[in-house]
């Protein structure tokens, strides 16, 4: 570790200050977020938050807090007044709040109307309603190619005069570098939906979702699943037990036979056994149990059959680039980026966020897209907006990482910048609303009841983040008096899982107009 002579540092200080002032003058001329006051930021933790931290055995050195009041300045500008600045410059693990950087930059660079394209090519011909030849699917990373969208794709294929397909499926994933599609996890839970890796031809998040509930008409268990797969059979051998729905998964055994299947000409059997609590009114069992090609092949085949189409024989999907001689049959466009961002931020979808980062790389630097190129695109965008995040670490853009890092102050600078961008309201509306939806649906509900009598009710639009040893919040609070605050707080500590209460206390304090001109230190 390098050390520096204190005397040398002192002598260098005027030069550093002059350089910093020059940079500040330049940035204030070009950067829309301006300081409203030169006062030092208050270094304190609100009393209710401090008390909660102490109760939950979280040291004050494990939390960072940045609160900034956002005020409207001259037209098109906002000013910022710091209210709380507790260790806000310390780079910390932000967990899923990192998605704010990925989605905001994506919205501003690509535009809210951006749509991903899935191209379908063929090396055959259509004659008398039969496509004699293979289909080649070439993806660009549509993060929400779900059954409803695939059904639309099938209709568009049928509109080309195709009723039957006599050929196989080939999947062109050349849009992404192979390294970003590797199934690496930070917790070893490779079968969990939140760990699905990126895929240019990602279908239904590659996740089988089984819906389980006690039948309303008899003492047996209703079991259904999505998305439809062409060769999946479900065997239900579970027994109903008189038990609460808590920990319902612990007594259920799941097996997919044959195991490790990759040859799609074989039927699949999903078997459930064990005990299912009668008190469960409806639960979802989500699992990533099939390789990408099997899942997409059987999903595509089932969607084609549900649309009324037929196959000469069941397709066997394989990897393969589009041949030069193949012709484009269909260019299918997915939903708008603005709608994808709502899912990413409200429900903290990891793979969707990762694919937005890779799309930035693909659109701005060409294929194959890499995380490193996505990082470069975002770093360039930050500089264009006058933001110099020296401690920023982007590993995948979703926050599902032990390495990603950003400071609370930087995250709030990002939130302030958002207020001056054309996509300000699209971004704001994508955030979970406390007591209403997304990951904030069940939080602050009791506190918000205090404001039911108010005509204009306060609200908290907050992105949450959680990992083992990490809890995070970042977003906007509109207080009961109509003040708007940007707030970010990170807890990095083994007891972080207890920190939800501390963060809720911080948000409640802001809803109640906690900051005052004179702060009790």
CATH number at residue 352: 3.40.710.10
**Residue 41 DSSP code:** P
Residues 388 and 488 occupy one common structural domain? yes
- Give the pLDDT band of residue 40 (cuts 50, 70, 90): low
Residues 362 and 461 occupy one common structural domain? yes
Specify whether the CB–CB gap between 498 and 56 falls below 8 A. Answer: yes
- Give the pLDDT band of residue 23 (cuts 50, 70, 90): very low
> In this structure, is residue 107 part of a structural domain?
yes
pLDDT exceeds 60 at position 230? yes
Domain-terminating residue out of 254, 287, 320? 287
Rounded to whole angstroms, how far apart are CA atoms 366 and 388? 25
Residues 354 and 256 occupy one common structural domain? no
Rounded to whole angstroms, how far apart are CA atoms 470 and 31? 32
- Distances, alpha carbon 443 to alpha carbons 248, 349, 473, 484, 500, in Å: 23, 19, 12, 19, 9
**Partners of 33 in beta bridges:** 78
| Domain count of the fold of the chain | 2
Residues 372 and 494 occupy one common structural domain? yes
> In this structure, is residue 407 part of a structural domain?
yes
pLDDT at position 25: 35
pLDDT exceeds 80 at position 323? yes
Residues 344 and 480 occupy one common structural domain? yes
The residue to which tokens 């400071």 are assigned: 407
Among 217-221, 232-236, 404-408, the minimum mean pLDDT is found in: 217-221
> In this structure, is residue 518 part of a structural domain?
no
> In this structure, is residue 368 part of a structural domain?
yes
Mean of the per-residue pLDDT values of the chain: 90
Domain-terminating residue out of 287, 303, 323? 287
pLDDT at position 7: 33
Residues 270 and 367 occupy one common structural domain? no
> In this structure, is residue 185 part of a structural domain?
no
> In this structure, is residue 506 part of a structural domain?
yes
Residues 254 and 363 occupy one common structural domain? no
- Give the pLDDT band of residue 76 (cuts 50, 70, 90): low
Question: Which has more confidence, 14 or 254?
Answer: 254
pLDDT exceeds 80 at position 419? yes
Rounded to whole angstroms, how far apart are CA atoms 425 and 439? 19
> In this structure, is residue 86 part of a structural domain?
yes
Residues 270 and 374 occupy one common structural domain? no
pLDDT exceeds 50 at position 127? yes
pLDDT at position 21: 36
pTM value?
A: 0.89
For residue 28 the two structure tokens come to 């204030």
pLDDT exceeds 80 at position 70? yes
pLDDT at position 18: 37
Range of the domain at 385: 33-113+338-511
pLDDT at position 28: 34
pLDDT at position 36: 41
Rounded to whole angstroms, how far apart are CA atoms 283 and 515? 42
Residues 408 and 493 occupy one common structural domain? yes
Residues 473 and 378 occupy one common structural domain? yes
Residues 504 and 443 occupy one common structural domain? yes
Residues 78 and 227 occupy one common structural domain? no
Rounded to whole angstroms, how far apart are CA atoms 352 and 46? 36
> In this structure, is residue 21 part of a structural domain?
no
Per-residue pLDDT reduced to its tens digit, 329-384 = 999 999 999 999 999 999 999 999 999 999 999 999 999 999 999 999 999 999 99
Give Cα 323 to chain centroid, integer Å: 34
């Amino acid at each position: 570790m390098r050390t520096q002579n204190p005397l040398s540092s002192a002598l260098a200080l005027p030069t550093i200050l002059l350089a910093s002032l020059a940079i500040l003058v330049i940035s204030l001329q070009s950067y829309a977020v301006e300081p409203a006051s030169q006062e030092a930021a208050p270094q304190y933790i609100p009393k209710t938050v401090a008390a909660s931290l102490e109760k939950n055995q979280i040291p004050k050195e494990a939390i960072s807090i940045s609160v900034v009041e956002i005020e409207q300045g001259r037209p098109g500008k906002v000013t910022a007044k710091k209210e709380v600045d507790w260790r806000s410059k310390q780079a910390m693990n932000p967990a899923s709040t990192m998605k704010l950087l990925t989605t905001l930059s994506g919205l501003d660079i690509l535009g809210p109307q951006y749509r991903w394209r899935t191209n379908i090519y063929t090396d055959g011909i259509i004659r008398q309603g039969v496509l004699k030849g293979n289909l080649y699917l070439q993806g660009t990373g549509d993060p929400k190619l779900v059954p409803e969208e695939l059904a639309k794709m099938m209709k568009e294929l049928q509109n080309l005069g195709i009723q039957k397909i006599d050929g196989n499926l080939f999947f062109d994933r050349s849009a992404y570098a192979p390294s970003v599609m590797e199934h690496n996890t930070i917790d070893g839970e490779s079968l969990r939906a939140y760990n699905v890796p990126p895929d240019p031809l990602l279908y239904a998040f590659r996740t089988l979702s089984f819906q389980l509930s006690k039948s309303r008409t008899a003492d047996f268990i209703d079991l259904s699943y999505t998305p439809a797969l062409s060769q999946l059979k479900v065997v239900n051998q579970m027994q109903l037990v008189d038990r609460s729905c808590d920990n319902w998964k612990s007594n259920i055994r799941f097996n997919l036979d044959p195991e490790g299947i990759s040859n799609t000409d074989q039927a699949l059997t999903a078997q459930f056994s064990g005990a299912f609590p009668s008190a469960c009114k409806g639960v979802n069992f989500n699992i990533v149990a099939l390789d990408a090609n099997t899942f997409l092949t059987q999903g595509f085949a089932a969607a084609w059959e549900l649309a009324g189409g037929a196959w000469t024989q069941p397709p066997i999907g394989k990897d393969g680039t589009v041949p030069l001689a193949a012709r484009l049959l269909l260019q299918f466009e997915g939903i708008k980026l603005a709608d994808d961002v709502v899912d990413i931020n409200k429900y903290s979808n990891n793979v969707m966020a990762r694919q937005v980062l890779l799309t930035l790389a693909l659109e701005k630097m060409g294929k194959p897209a890499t995380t490193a190129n996505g990082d470069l695109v975002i770093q360039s965008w930050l500089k264009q907006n006058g933001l110099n995040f020296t401690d920023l670490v982007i590993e995948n853009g979703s926050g599902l990482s032990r390495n990603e890092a950003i400071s609370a102050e930087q995250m709030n600078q990002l939130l302030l910048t958002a207020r001056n961008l054309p996509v300000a309201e699209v971004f704001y509306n994508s955030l979970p609303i406390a007591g209403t939806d997304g990951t904030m649906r069940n939080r602050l509900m009791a506190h918000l009841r205090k404001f039911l009598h108010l005509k204009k009710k306060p609200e908290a639009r907050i992105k949450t983040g959680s990992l083992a040893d990490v809890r995070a919040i970042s977003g906007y609070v509109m207080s009961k008096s109509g003040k708007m605050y940007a707030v970010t707080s990170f807890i990095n500590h083994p007891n972080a899982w207890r920190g939800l209460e501390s963060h809720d206390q911080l948000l409640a304090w802001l809803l109640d107009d906690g900051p005052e001109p004179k702060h009790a230190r």
